[in-house]
Structure 1
């Protein structure tokens, strides 16, 4: 090799080494400005430092050591964990747009994609259109007011289902969550299809309950394919495959409801061409309006998108409602003095509670809020993603970082809550003491900002009325002679936070004292 060739090669190598070193130094500097966190291990990152606790508890434990804004590496997935009200306020008030992306796990991908979804689609025009539908058509106050009677009937049917089941249950009791699920499913069914869909003996209801529950469980399960992208094609744990199996089965059931509704409507149209004028518009009518030729192409819904939205409303609406009400009942049965207090409030009136009465039931509302504080249905909300790099609290947040807001840790932060692990509804009895509209950052069960749960106006009406109705109508005893202090309060983590062991209790119809 000639001398000039050697010199040229040497210069190229030196330039390459210089470029690599400068790139490395920039990367080191960038990484040095990340939020603090535990030392990462090679390849696996911080996975093994999480321990065997439920993840919202293990991350709260790590945050006590490393701070309220913390960096973790789950394999190659960079994750920023927010564990205090101060940092949550900074995020939602000053960085809401740039952190409004969604981290899409492998389990959420497949034949039925995530892009038609309100919950998992990325922030952009399609998502904004879906959100606008929710705020102007689905969960607007005027529509919720007109549906008040429907909600009341769904809850009345639940009370009757419980009474019927309780007569046959004996000391084994009933699966309390199952009846809350039936109520929530029929409520969503009325919002979308204008009809009840299930009863306790419904085979389709049992299958949907099973498949939807498995989807929520698997989608929230740690998946090695998310941590190590090179393994995605292999799906080593089979989570994506299993999730898609249950999604498809649940889609078949939801699609069957849609098909039945469409066939019934077509039949009615043949008999009476003005049928549309005779019925109130429900959610499905609104969705179908976005499928027609008169809709701008960018805003047009495919049949699959409609299926995704319907499926999402059923799974998200039923699972979170069921979880919250089951935890509320469990906490009250474990704290008999609180149960007695809320029942006394409810039974001062000689009639069953109605939605308009809820404002006059402050302790009942406090029970719901305290349940949401201790057992938020989504302990990390739905994971956010940084759509671009940004600076927050002086730290660098890299693009595509996963952002977890640990609302469970925030709701149990001793800096904000006295005796934070105790179930004390009284803490919410002070006038104007915190709501769940996303403005009190110590209490964020429905999130905050652009990606706050759009259904919280509906939840704020349904949760207290459903709980109040079963507490007013029945006295409750734990099944199989279990004592209050022996209750299993272990958690089962999926996307939502459920009781690991379903709550079983005996409903005893309440009979007012003679002369009352």
Structure 2
């Protein structure tokens, strides 16, 4: 009899315990942020079109600025307003300081070993410290003023030659070539490309392909069980592209090591990083970390070209306003870099489960009608007066966070802000511009990915504004 009682009790418990757990999970599910129900296996992935930032922005009207979605087996929370972004990236900055592993970006990110995709921890801190100290900090940026000046002058002379021959200028090609040479001289003491042309264009196209590919909503990243199938071909394509860039970086590092004796007393960034690859606590950087450092530095600055540097930039408020307005409407990283929390937390009264990805829709925040008057209009004047005049894209004003915010804010923020205003100011000061085809309107269609380049690169005719001696 006693055995029968125990048996019955065991059977009841086998039903009751799962039921209680289910009820407990259900009560928590009520507190999840609102969001679409999704479909079996794929969740909300079918609702995310090729322009994911726009698809997610369209859901805000129905579900609000904090949404919860199941994408395959992944939990995802999306912040689409300044207030929502502040709740996550300021109040819970440390909680969401990690980065989810992206299968499609395994090779591109050197297995997450660079300072953009590495998880928060001692090695990530060392990488960021070295980047700020020797490459992207205020003193480092001041040290490479002569290099910037020289390369921008070369770019302007190239544009002058095009104007003499009545040839259109593909603006992003000229800018990326100049920028790659600036980074090359600072990091490895050499110009990467002697002239703008086929080689520099292949480099630019490869970087663009990498960063658009890593940002795609690849099914394998959200349903790991079928990742091996690579249904969209994203992984194969990215691996081939990365191999080309990795071969270039590997050759640069080997050449750099062979010429080390030539730089006695005047080390470049790579020399300094190699000399400080082990910190006081014993945290060390591997050769893969070093290659990741070089690749992410060149990639982030080559495509993050957006603001600040002429000596009298503070006296050029309209130029600064133009750059802010461009960043508001067309942020270089539309969904920011993804964040990740290993632990559960509460945000604005909602329960956020553990192991959840955070996506901050920077593109939607910049077009929020509750914040911006005529949000789809390009009006630099909005930043010249009133409260907007005090807004800066440096991670403190959450209405405008094109470089992110908090601990994972883009390490190239200040360099990116520096380069764009410098180059934009130089281009508009040195030349008059018009579209190569005057019968067409400026095409502002975008190509979605981790970054948001124009689908059709800007092609324009330039005519000199200055006397010829000014370009020498």
Mean Cα deviation higher: 208-217 or 500-509 = 208-217
Aligned residues of 1:152 and 1:354 also touching (Cα < 8 A)? no
Question: Which of the residues 216, 222, 228 maps onto 1:227?
Answer: 222
> 2:300 aligned with 1:319, yes or no?
no
> 2:62 aligned with 1:105, yes or no?
no
How well do the aligned residues superpose, as a CA RMSD in angstroms? 2.3
> Offset of 1:20 from its aligned partner?
1.2
> 2:346 aligned with 1:391, yes or no?
yes
CA distance 1:261–1:155, shift in 2 (3 Å): same
Aligned residues of 2:173 and 2:201 also touching (Cα < 8 A)? no
> Offset of 1:166 from its aligned partner?
3.6
> 2:327 aligned with 1:309, yes or no?
no
Aligned residues: 466
Q: Structure 2 stretches of 5 or more lacking a match?
A: 468-472
CA distance 1:96–1:201, shift in 2 (3 Å): closer
| Aligned counterpart, 1:161 | 158
> Offset of 1:235 from its aligned partner?
2.3
State how far apart, in whole Å, the 1-side matches of 2:240 and 2:140 are: 35
Mean Cα deviation higher: 366-375 or 187-196 = 187-196
State how far apart, in whole Å, the 2-side matches of 1:97 and 1:261 are: 37
> 2:269 aligned with 1:283, yes or no?
yes
CA distance 1:149–1:110, shift in 2 (3 Å): closer
| Aligned counterpart, 1:480 | 437
Aligned residues of 2:343 and 2:354 also touching (Cα < 8 A)? yes
State how far apart, in whole Å, the 2-side matches of 1:200 and 1:258 are: 21
> Offset of 1:176 from its aligned partner?
1.1
Mean Cα deviation higher: 362-371 or 229-238 = 229-238
> Offset of 1:10 from its aligned partner?
4.0
TM-score normalized by the length of structure 2: 0.93
State how far apart, in whole Å, the 2-side matches of 1:191 and 1:308 are: 16
> 2:235 aligned with 1:248, yes or no?
no
The correspondence of residues 27-426 of structure 1 with structure 2, limited to 5 A, is 27-51=25-49, 54-110=51-107, 113-168=110-165, 170=167, 173-201=168-196, 204-266=199-261, 268=262, 275-277=263-265, 279=266, 281-291=267-277, 298-321=282-305, 324=306, 355-426=310-381
Task: Name segments (4+ residues, structure 1) moved above 6 Å.
Answer: 3-6
TM-score normalized by the length of structure 1: 0.85
CA distance 1:482–1:282, shift in 2 (3 Å): farther
Structure number with the higher helix fraction is 1
1:480 aligns to what SS in structure 2?
A: coil
Aligned residues of 1:290 and 1:299 also touching (Cα < 8 A)? no
Can you list the C-alpha shifts for 1:274-310, whole angstroms capped at 9, x where unaligned?
x522x1x32101221134xx75684222222111110
> Offset of 1:201 from its aligned partner?
4.7
Aligned residues of 1:116 and 1:305 also touching (Cα < 8 A)? yes
State how far apart, in whole Å, the 2-side matches of 1:228 and 1:436 are: 35
Aligned residues of 2:101 and 2:112 also touching (Cα < 8 A)? no
Aligned residues of 1:88 and 1:441 also touching (Cα < 8 A)? yes
Can you list the C-alpha shifts for 1:124-143, whole angstroms capped at 9, x where unaligned?
11111112223333222222
